[in-house]
Amino acid sequence: MAAFIAAQRDEHGIPYAISCRALGVSQSWFYKWARHARTGTSPPRAARRARLAAEVRRLFEAYQGKRGSPVITADLQDAGWRVSKNTVAALMAEQNLAARPKRRRRVTTRPGRGRWRAPDLVKRQFPATRLNQKWYGDGTEIGTGEGKLYLASVMDAASRRILGFTLSGHHDAAAAYGALAMAITVRGGKVPGVIMHTGQGSEPRFKGSSQHCLAGPSIGIHRGPLPGSSSGGSCGGGC
């Protein structure tokens, strides 16, 4: 707008006051723009907006593009900027900065498929009064700089000791089998009557042949909700 008013004076000799009045703008605003144009400086408001835009980009890159305007606005306000979320969102849009949506974490405990369900051996009575009465198994996904690892572990409910564990690049029966085999070895190789309680999920092939070949008929394998879990459970069979 200001450049247009200046051009009317230069090209057609129309006074600034007439152009400002015809366009409904303040003469003081125009003369302020003209002064900055002559000196090669930006108006304070424009300069502040440019600094704010640079800071928005810096924070966006610091978060590796994973945070949007609400988080960046909070950081700016903590740093002393007086700015609204809408202003930050507008500056991000002007610079084509869009936060990447958060990837949903893979659920490693999945309900076992099939019609077969064994009796509930734990009945939500999770504490144990003696060793080798109840064991709990779990699988956890661990993110690393080189990819994902899956930790399978077995804990004695009475001592709270981790008896066996495995780290693997795959969430499968081999990892669960390895953790359970280590636990049995730690407890002397024979644990008659112990109940192995895991989450609701079932790794491929683990609830079948792997259980049977691991310890014979002396161990009951139970699948249900872990202690503190809110999900419903289904039980695995004795092996």
| Closest residue by Cα to residue 239 from 177, 168, 158, 172 | 177
Of 94, 127, 152, the one marking the end of a domain is 94
Of 59, 94, 129, the one marking the end of a domain is 94
> 15 with 108, same domain?
no
Q: What is the dihedral of CA 66, 67, 72, 74, to 10 degrees?
A: -130
| Closest residue by Cα to residue 227 from 113, 129, 134 | 134
> 159 with 207, same domain?
yes
99, part of any domain: no
Q: What's the rounded Cα separation, in Å, for the pair 152 and 233?
A: 19
Question: Measured over all CA atoms, what is the biggest interatomic distance in the chain, rounded to whole angstroms?
Answer: 104
Per-residue pLDDT of the chain (239 residues; tens, 9 = 90+): 777 877 877 787 888 788 888 888 887 877 777 776 776 666 677 788 889 999 999 999 998 888 889 999 999 999 899 999 999 999 999 999 988 776 666 665 555 555 556 567 777 778 888 898 888 888 888 888 888 888 999 999 888 899 999 988 887 888 888 888 899 999 888 888 888 877 655 454 444 333 333 344 344 444 444 444 333 333 333 33
Residues 6+ apart with CB under 8 A from 120: 222, 224, 233, 235
